[in-house]
């Protein structure tokens, strides 16, 4: 695993990740390599609402947490590579960013597996929330694009102009948290819940990454 340029990471995510969308909040970009060949990328950064990090873990300020915004690994990577890649990323963050005390990420219900990668990496499962999305012309749009006129860009404008054709969906997003600094565990403000399991492997969608 090695640090890679932002442009390189974004190009890989746009081409290969199931969302084909980047997260502008990402600022740590790590490449995953197998036998010298790049086979994946992980992007970490701020949460969607950075100021609310303290509502997840008390007294958290910027620089003390990261969110795993995007992860993609090639089919060429061996079994369990996702959890191994997360483990290596955590080791890198511990060395390079010693102020980071915890990491969070979300598993999207669209992928059908409810965060089994994070479970294998020993993240804590802290429940889920329901978010509205819109499906339009084969693409998925977050509801915030309806009101984020300045940040929504052309995608937001396209959704607003074609909302009458869009299909509204409610999807669950499952929150997982990992503490790099174990003494911060007592600051967690959310209840830890038992791991969820997919209702059947045959129902899992073919989503590459998170």
Given a cut of 80, whether residue 207 has pLDDT beyond it is no
Q: How many other CB atoms are there within 10 angstroms of residue 70's CB atom?
A: 24
Secondary-structure percent of the chain, ordered helix, strand, coil, rounded to 5: 30, 30, 35
Residue among 141, 82, 84, 137 nearest 110 (CA): 141
Given a cut of 90, whether residue 98 has pLDDT beyond it is yes
- Which has more confidence, 139 or 100? 100
Output the six-digit token pair for 134: 């819109």
Strands 65-73 and 102-108: parallel
Side-chain half-sphere of 115: how many Cα atoms within 13 Å?
27
Q: Are 92 and 180 in contact (CB under 8 A)?
A: no
Q: How many other CB atoms are there within 10 angstroms of residue 83's CB atom?
A: 17
Tell me the residue ranges of DSSP E strands in the chain: 2-3, 26-34, 37-45, 65-73, 102-108, 124-136, 139-142, 167-179
Say what the pTM is.
0.83
**What average pLDDT does range 114-135 have in this prediction?**
89
| CA 31 – CA 185 distance, rounded (Å) | 29
The backbone torsions φ and ψ at residue 53, rounded to the nearest 5 degrees and listed phi first, read -60, -35
User: Mean pLDDT over all residues of the chain?
Assistant: 87
Side-chain half-sphere of 38: how many Cα atoms within 13 Å?
12
Class of domain 2-127+174-203 as given by CATH: alpha beta
* From 63-72, 122-131, 146-155, 188-197, the region with the lowest mean pLDDT: 146-155
Quick: pLDDT tens for 140-197: 766 777 776 555 577 778 778 888 888 887 888 899 999 999 999 999 999 999 998 8
pLDDT at 142: 66
Tell me the residue ranges of DSSP E strands in 80-166: 102-108, 124-136, 139-142
pLDDT at 166: 80
The secondary structure of residue 49, as a DSSP letter, is S
């Amino acid at each position: 695993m090695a640090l890679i340029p932002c442009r390189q990471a974004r190009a890989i995510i746009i081409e290969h990740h199931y969302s084909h969308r980047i997260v502008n909040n990402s600022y740590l970009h790590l490449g995953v390599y197998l036998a010298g060949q790049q086979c994946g990328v992980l992007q970490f950064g701020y949460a969607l609402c950075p100021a609310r990090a303290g509502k997840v873990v008390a007294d958290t300020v910027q620089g003390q947490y990261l969110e795993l915004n995007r992860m993609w690994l090639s089919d060429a990577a061996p079994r369990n590579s996702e959890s191994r890649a997360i483990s290596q990323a955590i080791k890198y963050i511990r060395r390079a960013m010693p102020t980071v005390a915890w990491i969070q990420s979300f598993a999207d219900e669209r992928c059908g597996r409810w965060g089994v990668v994070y479970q294998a990496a020993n993240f804590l499962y802290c429940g889920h929330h329901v978010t509205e999305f819109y499906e339009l012309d084969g693409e998925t749009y977050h509801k915030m694009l309806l009101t984020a006129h300045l940040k929504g860009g052309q995608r937001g404008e396209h959704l607003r102009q074609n909302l009458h054709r869009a299909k509204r969906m409610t999807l669950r997003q499952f929150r997982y948290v990992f503490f790099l600094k174990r003494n911060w565990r007592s600051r967690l403000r959310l209840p830890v819940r038992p791991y969820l399991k997919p209702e059947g492997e045959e129902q899992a969608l073919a989503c590459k990454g998170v």
